[in-house]
Amino acid sequence: MSMMRHPFRHFTRTHLFIFLGFYIVFAGLTALALSAGSESDRREAPIVSAALGSISGPFTGAIARHFQSCCWDFSLSIFPYSAALLGIGVLAQIVAMPWKCCERTMRLTAWCLGLLGWFGGVVLSFAHALS
């Protein structure tokens, strides 16, 4: 039993700070994109809920458009790709790395790329929702 190690031991405070950085940037971009529209768009768009919901990645555009069927379908269509990239970033924190010399750098790079893939779904989702 002593050989069993905690599978998430490579998740550190640095990972949390990187995640929060991505979230704050994309929540701010969401609020900025929705508040830059016309007055009628601002009345109809749930700016606060969409900004807070930017953690949901590709579903942010659907949130911003009150889950209209076309936006929801588009969000569902890009979800597997965003989730796969995020999954690869998480998996890179769990599996053993072959090179110990640059293990931390590789893990953090994979984490950033995974988060970029997930939060990049926000941009794609908005490209559809705001068109």
Percent of the chain with pLDDT over 90: 57
Q: What is the DSSP string of 89-122?
A: HHHHHHSPPS-STTHHHHHHHHHHHHHHHHHHHH
Model confidence over 69-118: pLDDT tens digits? 999 999 999 999 999 999 999 999 988 888 888 889 999 999 999 999 99
Task: State the pTM of this model.
Answer: 0.85
What is the rounded distance in angstroms from the CA atom of residue 15 to the CA atom of residue 12?
Answer: 5
Phi-psi region of 5 (alpha: psi -120 to 50; beta: other; left: phi over 0): beta
CA atoms within 13 A on the CB side of 43: 3
Task: Report residue 17 as tokens.
Answer: 């700070």
Task: Report residue 37 as tokens.
Answer: 């529209």
User: Domain spans of the chain?
Assistant: 13-129
Cβ-proximal residues to 99 (8 Å cutoff; 6+ apart), any chain: 106
Model confidence over 50-63: pLDDT tens digits? 889 899 999 999 99
